[in-house]
Copies of this chain bind each other. A is one copy, B any other.
Amino acid sequence: MCMRERMNYKFSYFLDGMKPSEIRELLKMASTKGLISLGGGMPNPKTFPSDVLKSIMNDLIETRSAQVFQYANTLGVQETLDILPGYLEKTQGIKCLPENVILNSGSQQGLYELGKVLANPGDTIITEEPTYVGAISAFSANGLKMEGIEMDSMGMKTELLEERIKQLMKEGRKPSFIYTIPTFQNPTGYTMPLERRKHLIEISRSYDIPLIEDNPYGELRYYGNHVPAMRSLKGGEDVLYLGTFSKVMTPGLRLGYTIAPTEVISKFNLMKQALDLATNTFSQYVAYEYIKRGAIYKQVALNIDMYRKKRDIMVNALESEFNDGSIWSKPEGGMFVWLTVSQNVDTKQMIGEAIKNGVAYISGQAFTTKGAQKRSMRLNFTYGDDDQLAEGIRRLRKTFVKQ
């Protein structure tokens, strides 16, 4: 991937607030110095199962071209809808039926649809603080007001959540839904333990507030024991669950899915007709074969091996370089480390300096609607080459000078 492409990706998150002339200057420097980007959220291209996909695609074109290139139903290709429940039961213990599934153009589309279907413009909703920048974008585009609930290393603080709900209800602002990424959260990498998940479901049920569980990284665990998805727990049958093929197949084929009660699925159906008629048929058939042939399980095992090593390189580099009172998450899976530096600086203002030093990150403020998280940043460890990861952390150290 050329530098131009890499730099343009989610460009605004890096460089928000800078003048075009400054950006051009930085870009020039970055492209001559060999920028190491820890900023994006991309899988490593070495995880793309190219040979398998090539073989699947050839088979599909030779045997079913009239179907795989035609429009699909808005909810999805039937074979793909049919095979997903088995995959979800095997990997997440989730029990659902094909009629509980809608296939989306990436799970970003699922987030947009949820914001549109479950809430009205002006409504209040609950997120983690900090939370996924794409969720902020999807919910903001629908005119929703986000109330972020503080996290610790066990995820959203559910005691705080309950207090906040009570307070909001007093103000006549009962939240329309609660949005959480309980496993290897984006941006922090934290995972919510079982007990807190149960508490969250209990809160959702007793206050009658729908709960959205976004689980894009659930398959990518490198250490520790599996924590069950909330959708798989007793009482979690109505949890709205988002999954994706971006991290277990490829992101470029743009395929995600939402699991929901059938009455919500029919609202998604209407909504998606307006949004883009239907998801890419070819991608859906490819994903179907990818699961059916069992290739997904083999590839995920390879991804885990590769990413575990990269995670260790980054965490170890942080331990060597940032032992000055800075703190960072030690994720058991997923794609991100959350670093909070000990210096009293604004990481957003420091991004120019970092790029001069040849490293990019996304500053904490991108993940909040409050302007908080100033001393924090999100670091991605899946995209870079092994030696780039350690060097990237050294360049960060140069940027955030030890005091």
Interface residues of A (CB under 8 A from B): 1, 4-5, 8-10, 12, 40, 42-43, 45-46, 48, 50, 53-54, 57-58, 61-62, 65-73, 78, 104-106, 108-109, 112, 116, 121, 134, 137-138, 140-141, 246, 250-254, 270-271, 273-283
- Nearest B residue to A67 via CB reads B1
- Report whether B69 and A48 are in contact in the complex, using a CB–CB cutoff of 8 Å: yes
- Nearest B residue to A274 via CB reads B141
- Report whether A279 and B254 are in contact in the complex, using a CB–CB cutoff of 8 Å: yes
User: Which chain B residues lie closer than 8 Å to A105 at the CB level?
Assistant: 105, 254, 276, 280
- Nearest B residue to A285 via CB reads B252
Whole-angstrom distance from the CB of A311 to the nearest CB of chain B? 20
Question: A252 with B1: in contact, given A54-B58, A57-B57 (CB under 8 Å)?
Answer: no
- Nearest B residue to A11 via CB reads B73
- Report whether B54 and A275 are in contact in the complex, using a CB–CB cutoff of 8 Å: no
- Report whether A71 and B274 are in contact in the complex, using a CB–CB cutoff of 8 Å: no
Whole-angstrom distance from the CB of A20 to the nearest CB of chain B? 12
User: Which chain B residues lie closer than 8 Å to A250 at the CB level?
Assistant: 69-70, 282
Question: A42 with B57: in contact, given A5-B78, A138-B274 (CB under 8 Å)?
Answer: no
User: Which chain B residues lie closer than 8 Å to A57 at the CB level?
Assistant: 54, 57-58, 61
In whole angstroms, how far apart are the Cα atoms of A9 and B73 in the complex? 5
A sample of 29 cross-chain residue pairs with beta-carbon separation below 8 angstroms, ordered by A number, consists of A4-B78, A8-B73, A42-B70, A45-B65, A45-B67, A48-B69, A50-B61, A53-B61, A54-B61, A54-B62, A70-B252, A71-B251, A105-B105, A105-B280, A108-B274, A108-B275, A108-B276, A109-B275, A116-B141, A134-B273, A137-B273, A140-B274, A252-B282, A253-B281, A254-B278, A275-B275, A276-B276, A280-B283, A282-B283
